[in-house]
Chains A and B, each alone.
Chain A
Amino acid sequence: MGGAYFPPTSASSGGVRAYNLIKHYGTQKQLVQALRGVSFEVQQGELFGIIGPDGAGKTSLFRILTTLLLPDGGEATVDGYDVVKQYSEIRKRVGYMPGRFSLYQDLTVAENLEFFATIFNTSIEENYDLVKDIYAQIEPFKDRRAGKLSGGMKQKLALSCALIHRPSVLFLDEPTTGVDAVSRKEFWEMLNRLKQQGITILVSTPYMDEASLCDRVALMQNGEVLTVDSPEGVINSFQQPLLAVKANRMLPLLNDLKAFEGSDNAYPFGEYHHVVLKEGTEPAVLENYLRQRGHGPVTITTIRPDIEDCFMALMRN
Chain B
Amino acid sequence: MKQFRSFVKKEFHHILRDKRTMFILLGMPIVQIVLFGFALTNEVKNSKIAILDQSNDVSTLALRTELAASRYFDIERDLHSYKGIEEAFQSGKIRLAVVFPKNFDADLRHFNKAQVQLIADASDPNVATTLVNYATAIIMDYQDRITHDRRLPYTINTELRMLYNPQLKGAYSFVPGVMAMVLMLVCTMMTAITVVREKEMGTMEVMLVSPVKPMKIVMAKAVPYLLLSMINITSILLLSVFVLDVPIRGNLLLLIGESVLFTLTCLAFGLLISSSTASQQTAMFISLTGMFLPTVMLSGFMFPIENMPLPLRILSNIVPAKWFYYIVKEVMIKGLGFAAVWKETLVLTGMMLVLLTMSVKRFKIRLA
**Is B7 close to A, CB under 8 A?**
yes
Partner of A67, one of B10, B14, B201, B209: B209
Q: Which residues of B are found within 8 Å of A118, using beta-carbon distances? A: 2-3, 6
Is B206 located at the chain interface by the 8 A CB criterion? yes
Q: Besides the contacts A92-B211, A106-B13, A111-B13, what 4 more A-B pairs have beta carbons closer than 8 Å?
A: A70-B366, A91-B210, A103-B206, A118-B3
Say whether B245 faces chain A, with CB atoms less than 8 Å apart.
no
- The 8 Å CB contact of B209, one of A66, A100, A103, A104, is A66
A226 CB within 8 Å of chain B:
no
- Give chain B nearest CB distance to A204 CB in angstroms: 15
* A70 CB → nearest B CB, Å: 6
Contact: B14 with A119, CB < 8 Å?
no
* Chain A stretch 93-125: residues in CB contact (< 8 A) with chain B: 94, 96, 98, 100-107, 111, 114-116, 118-121
Contacts of A162 in B (CB 8 A): 206
**Nearest residue, chain B, Cβ from A105:** B201
Please give the distance in Å from A69's CB to the nearest CB on chain B.
6
Name the residue on A nearest B202 (C-beta): A102
A-B pairs, 7 with minimum CB distance: A102-B202, A118-B6, A96-B209, A68-B367, A92-B211, A106-B17, A100-B202
Q: Which residues of A contact B367 (CB under 8 A)?
A: 63, 68-69
Q: Nearest residue in A to B368 (C-beta to C-beta)? A: A69
* Structural contact, B14 and A104, CB atoms closer than 8 A: yes
CB-CB contacts below 8 Å: A173-219 with B = none
Alpha-carbon distance A107/B6, docked complex (angstroms): 12
In the assembled complex, 26 residue pairs joining A and B whose CB atoms fall closer than 8 Å, in A order, are A63-B367, A66-B209, A67-B366, A68-B205, A68-B208, A68-B367, A69-B368, A87-B365, A91-B210, A96-B205, A96-B206, A96-B209, A98-B202, A101-B202, A102-B201, A104-B10, A104-B13, A104-B203, A105-B201, A106-B18, A107-B13, A115-B10, A119-B7, A119-B211, A120-B210, A120-B211
Chain A positions 45-91 with a Cβ under 8 Å from a chain B Cβ: 63, 66-70, 87-88, 91
A94 B209 Cβ-Cβ under 8 A: yes
Number of residues from B at the complex interface, CB < 8 A: 24
Residue of B nearest to A89 (CB): B211
B219 nearest CB across to chain A (Å): 14
**A97 vs chain B, min Cβ distance (A):** 8
Query: Is the Cβ of B206 less than 8 Å from the Cβ of A91?
Result: no
CB distance from A96 to the nearest CB of B (A): 4
A103 contacts which of B3, B17, B203 (Cβ < 8 Å)? B203
Contact status A119-B207, CB under 8 Å: yes
Complex CA gap A111/B7 in Å reads: 11
Residue B212, interface by CB 8 Å: yes
How far apart sit A114 and B202, CA to CA, in the bound complex (Å)? 18
Across-interface contacts of A161 in B (CB, < 8 A): 206
A107-B13, A118-B3, A119-B3 are contacts. A68–B366 as well, Cβ < 8 Å?
A: yes
Residue in chain A with minimal CB distance to B5: A118
Check A91 against B208 for contact (C-beta < 8 Å): yes
Q: Name the CB-closest residue of B to A112.
A: B10
Residues of chain B lying within 8 A (CB to CB) of residue A96: 205-206, 209
Q: Closest residue to A167 on the B side, CB-wise?
A: B209
Given A69-B368, A102-B201, A107-B13, answer yes or no on A114-B211 (Cβ-Cβ < 8 Å). no
Residues of A contacting B206 in the complex (Cβ-Cβ under 8 angstroms): 96, 98, 102-103, 116, 161-162
**Using Cβ atoms and an 8 Å threshold, which residues of chain B touch A67?**
208-209, 366
Q: Are B17 and A69 in contact (CB under 8 A)?
A: no
Residue among B201, B206, B207 with most chain A CB within 10 A = B206
Contact of A69 among B201, B211, B366 (CB under 8 A): B366
Inter-chain CA distance A92–B209, complex, in Å, is 8
B190 to chain A, nearest CB (A): 15
A265-312 CB contacts (< 8 Å) to partner B = none
Counting chain A CB atoms within 10 Å of each CB, the highest count among B202, B207, B209, B211 belongs to B209
* Contact indicator A119/B205 (Cβ below 8 Å): no
**Residues 192-226 of B at the A interface (beta carbon under 8 Å):** 201-203, 205-212
Task: Report whether B209 and A119 are in contact in the complex, using a CB–CB cutoff of 8 Å.
Answer: no
Q: How far is the CA of A96 from the CA of B202 in the complex (A)?
A: 12
Least distance between B193 CB and chain A CB atoms (Å): 14
Q: A residues within 8 A CB of B210?
A: 91, 116, 119-120
Residues of chain A contacted by B365 (CB below 8 angstroms): 87
Among A63, A101, A104, the most chain B Cβ lie within 10 Å of the Cβ of A104
> How far apart are the CA atoms of A98 and B201 in the complex, in Å?
11
Which of B18, B205, B368 meets A98, CB within 8 Å?
B205
Q: Which residue of B lies closest to A118 (CB)?
A: B6
Q: Name B8-41 residues within 8 Å CB distance of A.
A: 10, 13-14, 17-18
Question: Which of A67, A96, A102, A121 gathers the greatest number of chain B CB atoms within 10 Å?
Answer: A102
> Could you tell me the distance between the alpha carbons of A146 and B365 in the complex, rounded to whole angstroms?
26
Q: Which residue of B lies closest to A95 (CB)?
A: B209
